[in-house]
Amino acid sequence: MNLSRRIYPLDPRELTEEQLAVVFAMTSRNPQPFDEIAKVVSAEKAANFHERWVLNYGHASVAEHAIIHMAAENISRLACDTMEDNRLASYTEKSSRYQLLDQGHYHIPVELEGHPLRDVYVNTCDSLFRAYQETTERLLEHLSNVTSKNEGERDSSYNLRLRRVATDVCRFLLPAATLTNVGITMNARSMEHAIRKLLSSDLLEEHEIGEALREQGRTITPTLIKYADRNDYLVLSREALDNLDQNEEEAIPYADCRAELVHYDQEAESKLVATLLYRFSSSSYSDILQRVKNMSQSQREEVIHKALNSLGQHDIPVRELEAVDYTFDLVMDYGAYREFKRHRMQTYISQPATVDLGYIVPDLILQAGLEGQFRESMETAAKGFHSLSEALPGVGGYLVTHAHLRRVLSKMNLRECYHLFKLRTSPQAHFTLRSVMHEALDLATQRHPLLFKYLRLRDE
């Protein structure tokens, strides 16, 4: 009997995603090699298998082996936020940091068809896009007057460098209605969940996106997302909670991003040391934790030092760091939020998009003498938002600009802190997100300086 090791791919050009999922599922009861199992799994047999085991008996993990690649084009950024709100998925989105957007590049909600507020919405979006384009031109002129060329830099490279700075700043004027493209990769189980959330939304655009994902997804996995539909629990629980507190105080506007550490583990050091030692022990966690509490401070520091001192710039910290949690209440501009939510390993709960928390004015706008026009645009967006929100709750969110502030609750473990803070405090990160992440890091470091001693930031 030949029992030599074999590692090989199963070709998705020869097997459908549903067939691949069944081939992997059958190995639990079939002793044959995967490529031998694949020879007997037809498309029809795969469909029957999924109908019986995944849909009827709830063995949903099988669907995780079926991978779907989907391209979504010309959807609003507001709807894109909902579509990207899935932890087990990968997304790559069109960047407004590197592309200059044309006039009229925004979504008009179906809810406004034949509605008297449609003109208010369109005029507001048109005004914001005009301001975006005019401000970009004026900012480019300002930058050319204050920015020198690097030695040996070609004109094309110099102009591209200035344009990236200008578009990075001027995109604060863009509304959430701005259209975007996004590439999506997820397994069939996650896709089914994503479709259900979209079909359970209050926005018609998200319903349409959910229906399109379901229709196109069925061409790849016809059985596994067959019953993806509106979820009553998501709808009813949202409505019940939304109506729970009618006496909420008015939002206090801010002028900048900020962070507040609302919860941290008082025994974080002891818990981390106990978890680090647990892997190499045969004792119970309770016994190890008690021994750790009886250690001297220098002994605990030595354990943490040995675990983290050799951590390199591109290394991922050991999983034991996940034993320690932090919860932050963050206020950041919508543009920063869209970058922040890419870190889907954390738990983040965002409040609805609004203009009532205020907005930020980028420093470069002030330096270029463009503050007046910028603030006029913010007022235009605010008026449109309030007009629409009174008549069509939820639709007003399309007019929230990338400069408007948003509140988000974030719970993350120490391991995710290392990843998030290192990446989003770097010079390449969104500059306003960089500031709020530095503040959050400082707050956590003040509480647990030893735990963050080994986090080596990219800008150090």
Q: What is the DSSP string of 21-34?
A: HHHHHHTTT--S-H
Question: Is a pLDDT exceeding 80 seen at residue 20?
Answer: yes
**Which pLDDT score, from 0 to 100, does residue 246 have?**
63
Q: Which residue has the tokens 């250690």?
A: 295
Q: How far apart are CA 61 and CA 23, in angstroms?
A: 13
Task: Please report where in the chains the tokens 């506007």 appear, as a residue.
Answer: 253
What is the mean pLDDT of the segment spanning 159-167? 94
> Assign residue 188 a region: left if phi > 0, alpha if psi is -120 to 50, beta otherwise?
alpha
Tell me the percentage of the chain whose pLDDT exceeds 70.
Answer: 97
pLDDT digits (tens, 9 = 90+) for 187-238: 999 999 999 999 999 999 999 999 999 999 999 998 888 889 999 999 999 9
pLDDT at 110: 97
**Can you tell me the mean pLDDT for 141-152?**
94
On whether residue 198 sits in a domain, the answer given is no
Q: What are phi and psi of 450, to 5 degrees?
A: -65, -40
Q: What percent of the chain has pLDDT over 90?
A: 77
- Taking residues 70-97, report their average pLDDT: 93
Q: Which domain holds residue 287?
A: 268-320
Strand stretches in 277-368, DSSP E: 325-333, 347-350
| Dist. CA 308–CA 310, nearest whole Å | 6
| pLDDT tens per residue, range 268-294 | 999 999 999 999 999 999 999 999 999
Give rounded-to-5 percent helix, strand, coil for the chain.
50, 15, 35
Token duo for residue 75: 């959807």
In a domain, residue 16? The reply is yes
Euclidean distance between CA atoms 314 and 296, whole angstroms: 32
What is the number of residues in the chain?
460
Phi, psi of 7 (to 5 degrees): -135, 120
Task: Measure the CA–CA gap between 391 and 395, rounded to whole angstroms.
Answer: 9
Q: Which of 183, 272, 238, 210 is nearest to 79 (CA)?
A: 210
The verdict on residue 272 lying in a domain is: yes
Find out whether 334 and 404 touch, Cβ atoms under 8 Å.
yes
CA distance 110 to 126: 18
Domain C-terminal end among 31, 65, 99: 65
Q: Helix, strand, or coil here: 243?
A: coil
Of the residues 65, 97, 117, the one at which a domain ends: 65
The residues near 290 (Cβ < 8 Å, ≥ 6 apart) are none
Find the helix or strand (DSSP H, E) in which 345 lies: none
Let me know if residue 143 belongs to a domain: no
Decide if 457 is inside a domain.
no
In a domain, 246, yes or no: no
Q: Coil, helix or strand for 313?
A: coil
Residue 431 has pLDDT above 80, yes or no: yes
Q: Is 48 domain-assigned? A: yes
Distance CA 457, CA 460 (A): 6
Domain count, the chain: 2
Least-confidence region, from 34-43, 186-195, 256-265: 34-43
Q: For position 64, what pLDDT does the model report?
A: 87
Tokens encoding 70? 């989907």
Return the closest-CA partner of residue 25 out of 196, 218, 224.
224
Using an 8 Å Cβ cutoff, are 180 and 78 in contact? no
Q: In this structure, is residue 276 part of a structural domain? A: yes
Q: Report d(CA 401, CA 153) in Å as an integer.
A: 35
pLDDT greater at residue 419 or residue 55: 419
More confident residue, 162 or 59: 162
Q: Is residue 58 pLDDT above 80, yes or no? A: no
pLDDT mean over 429-443: 95
Last residue of a domain, one of 252, 285, 320: 320
